[in-house]
Structure formats: structure tokens, C-alpha cells
Amino acid sequence: MAKSRTEFLCRECGGNHPKWMGKCPDCGAWDSLERFTVEADAPAGGAAPVWGVAADAADTDSLARAGIGRAVAIGSVPEASVARIPSGIGEFDRVLGGGIVPGSAILLGGDPGIGKSTLLMQVAAALAARGGSALYVSSEESPQQVRLRAERLAVVTGAGGVAALGERLSVLGETGVARIVEQARRMRPTIVLVDSIQLVHRADISAAPGSIAQLRRCCLDLVGLAKTTGCAVVIVGHVTKEGTLAGPKLLEHLVDVVLGFEGDRHCAVRVVRGVKNRFGSTQEIGLFEMHGDGLAEIESARISLDGRPPAPGCAFVPTMAGTRCLLGEVHALVSTGFLGSAKRRASGLDSARLAMLIAVLEKHGGLRLSDQDVFAQALGGLRIVEPASDLAVALAVAGAFLERTLPPGTVAIGEVGLTGELRTVPQIEQRVHESLRRGARAVLVPSGARVQALASAEMGGHRSGEIVKVGTISGALELLSPRIRALGPGNTEVKQGRSHSTKRSEQGAPQTPQGG
């Protein structure tokens, strides 16, 4: 007869302990141990379950042929290339490294209402339309609700509707992990999608669904399903208010891929970002835009500089997202502060780097920003935090302060040092070429950058822009004002400070201290 036992599980690291302690000995977290009761479920007279799930005879044979369960020489292990299955959604496949790997376990996290269920349904429908099979397990909604969502998605209606998918796309409304695993073993689909892990439970664990003990064991069972049957398993997880995946960190260690689904609910842009990927790079991102009929993929070349009028406080920067280059737009607003201490607010940008750039502009650019409120943001739902955006952010702040604009079609690339010098950044040649292809008339780069102009054939018939090399932030500020440019190169920094302060003094701004 199976006997129950009491264990204490750490909610931070997932460590198991036989008794309660105030501090977890594994990770050092205080008051993180939770008590739960579990039944002893080891099969009598047999081996322990594989990955927490008892495998059937066919699965055991396949594991033995794969060399799992016995030691083999590394030279005798057969070479195997990773066979990927395209899902039919290019941006999703890009983040995974080219497609879905059979037998992989994928954990997808995101805020409530961000579109996780919509994304999974589109992946399941697209895969079924390409001849694969998918099992969509919903622990939060009924099968009728799942069908209503599927019928409004463009990927389903484009495939001829729900009826046209036939039995290739199945829906299961279930919360018991044992029944989910049993159904998946019988169907053997290409992919199993579980939405979500927070409501899935095991009957032999007394803890409530969503607790640390339930999350750990249920995730272990689903990972075992993927490893023993060869079907890919996608698990949806909720996130905490801090933005991290709910549950112990052990969940992220159990799975092969961890994806984050990001975006503002008030903005249409959604970003799928790789956090962990055993089969590819974590530098790639997938871009989507939410519409009434589902998520639409965003092409990287959607933003163009052709015909964009210049505006004060606006700058463009090419930012790298894995192997591709995206053109980001940065806006800044500078206004006089009235509450004592000046505000510095950043949205989609690194707030610490924004504060540093403001200090550099005041010290080496002659701009008195100590009593000014500065707000900066990256448009389009992108998050731009790499140092290559320093020059663009600095020019946007300076342009907003001076109410001056950059020349039309200007793109800025470069890292700004504390001494005011501009430093080159990685992959700068790819950034420059991509900017020129988008219609940039001038690309500002650090003087130490080694970049060659594109030939007209590489530009697709468009006129090639100009590459402008600048050594310091004060030299880059000269592009903002014809008055500064007329002063000449001598003593540029001091003249810029006085010219800028004169312009602001006419509007009631304080004068720049002498020696600026």
C-alpha cells in the first residue's frame, strides 16, 4: 500500500527538503519552503518512472535504442542532425532556431491577456494546415470557447475554416495531467499545447493547482511525455508582477526552450523573445502585431525613412535583434522642471544610460539639463538597450532641448563614452548598410568605424546615402543647428554651450554657467 510522505519545496529554486527550515540551504532564500504531501508512486518491483512518467513498452524500447538508461562510449553515439518541423509562422520559427524540434519541451510565458492563447492556436492551426497534427489542451477554457477563438483567426479561416482542418487539430478540455498524458500517448500528435500549467494538477499531490509542488511534478510529467513519445510539448506559464515566470526556477531548467511573450496591452506590437534555447540562439526575436483576426507577422523592413519629415526630439537608430537589423525610432521630450528635482523617465530604453547621456550632454555638449525634465522612449513596442543607441538618444534629447531637428533621413549609430567621445559598436557595417537600404540620406558613425559605402546595385536601384564620421558628441551636435555650424571648428564645446544657452534664455530657460 502506498504511503504518503511530507516534503518541503523551495519556491525559489525548487529544492526538496525533508523538514521545514527558515532558510533554504540550496539557494539561501528566506521563508521560501512550502509544505506538501505526496503519495509514493514508484511501481512495485520495477524501475523508477522515466522523467516522472511511467513509460510504456514501446517507449522503453525506443529509449534503449537511443542509448538512454545505459552508458555508451561517446564515439559509438550515432551522429544525429536536429530535424525541425516548420510551424508555418515564420516569426515563431525564427525564435526557435528554424522550426519546432520533435521531442522538445517549450515553456512560453507572458502577462495575462497579452495573446499567448492566440499565438498557440495560430501555431496549432498553421501546423495542421501543413499536414501535421496538433492537440490543444485547455485547462482554463471549455472546448466551445477554444473553437470560438479559432474561428476568428485569419490562419484558420484562410485554411478553409475549422471543419477543413478535420482531425488534424484536436481540442481537449482537461486539468488532470495523467489524463492529458494518456490522451497524448494514444493520439501521438506532432505537437501538444498545454494552456496553462497553472491549472494542471496531479491527483496524488494534496497541494492546490498552481502551487510549487504541483507545478514541478506536472511540468516533469509533460517533459517526460515529450522525451518518451517524440512529440513536441508547448507549456504556457503565467508571470509574476516582477515579470518572471511563476513557479520555481526548476521549471526553466526542465524544459529545452523558454520563450517570453512581451508587449504593452495598449500597443499592438508583440515580441516573442528567446530566454533559453538548447537548439539555437537566444538572440533572435519574433515580431507580431495584434489585429482583430489574430497576430500578424511584422516584416523587419516595414519601417522606412523615405518621406519621413524631421521633427525636434526624433532620431533613428538601427538595432540588432539576433542576425537581423531593425530600424528603431527614438523620441525625447525636454521641459522645465517645477518640482525641485528634475525627472528622468525612459520607456523602452535603459534609464541608467539615459541619465548618463544627460550628464555627458551637460558636461561635454554645453547643455544645461540639470533643471530640465527629460522623457525618452523607443517607439513601436521595441526595447532598445544596447550601447549602439547612445548617439541617437543623445541627439534626440539635445534636439528636444534646442528645438532643432536633424537633417531629413539621418540615422545615428555609436556608443557615447563619459569623456564625450564616440566609440564604434559591433556589426556596424551591417547597421549602416541596412540604414542605407531603408532610404537614409546620412548615417552618423564614430570616426573609428570601418565602413564602406554600398554600390548602387546593392541598394536596389536607390541612391546611396552619405556616411558621416564624427569623433565626439560635441561634433555630432553641430548637425542640430546651422548657427553652431557657422561658428567653425575652433573651441566647439564652449561655443556650443553658449549658443545653446542663448537659444533657451530667449524662452525663459536659465543661462549656462560660464566655463560650460
What pLDDT score was predicted for residue 40?
58
pTM over 0.75, yes/no: no
Residue 296 grid coordinates = 500578424
Dmax (CA) for the chain in angstroms is 92
Is 308 within the bounds of a domain? no
CA distance 413 to 417: 13
For position 506, what pLDDT does the model report? 41
Instruction: Count the alpha carbons within 13 Å of 20 in the hemisphere toward its beta carbon.
Output: 8
In angstroms and rounded to an integer, the radius of gyration of the C-alpha atoms of the chain is 28
pLDDT at 132: 92
φ and ψ at residue 384, rounded to 5 degrees: -110, 105
Q: Are residues 274 and 318 in the same domain?
A: no
Domain ends where: 272, 297, 322?
297
Asked whether residue 305 is assigned to any structural domain, the reply reads no
Domain boundary among 297, 327, 356: 297
pLDDT score, position 492: 31
Looking at the fold, whether 339 and 395 belong to one and the same domain comes out as: yes
- Closest C-alpha among 424, 489, 434 to residue 462: 434
Write down the pLDDT at residue 207: 81
For residues 284 and 328, state if they share a domain. Answer: no
Look at residue 76 and tell me if it is in a domain.
no
Query: Are 288 and 139 contained in the same domain?
Result: yes
In a domain, 245, yes or no: yes
Domain extent, residue 7, equals 1-40
Residue 236, helix vs strand vs coil = strand
* Ranges of H-type helices in 152-242: 154-157, 162-165, 177-187, 212-229
**Number of structural domains in the chain:** 3
Residue 163 and residue 271 in one domain: yes
Same structural domain for residues 290 and 326? no
| Residue 306 in domain | no
CATH number of the domain enclosing 208: 3.40.50.300
DSSP string, 385-432: -SGGGHHHHHHHHHHHHHT--PPTTEEE--EEPTTSBEE--TTHHHHH
Same domain, 262 and 213: yes
Cα angle 427, 396, 342; round to 5 = 125
With contact defined as beta carbons under 8 Å apart, do 487 and 430 qualify? no
What pLDDT shows up at residue 420?
A: 95
348/437 same-domain check: yes
Note whether 292 and 327 are same-domain residues.
no
Residues 6+ apart with CB under 8 A from 242: none
Output the pLDDT for position 308: 67
Predicted local confidence at residue 216, as pLDDT:
86
Residue 303 lies in a domain: no
Euclidean distance between CA atoms 331 and 395, whole angstroms: 10
Residue 72 included in any domain: no
Residues of the chain with confidence (pLDDT) below 70? 1-3, 38-69, 159, 240-248, 300-308, 452-464, 481-516
CB-CB contact of 411 with 305 (8 Å): yes
What is the DSSP pairing of strand 16-17 with strand 191-195?
unpaired
What's residue 246's pLDDT? 58
> pLDDT value at position 461?
44
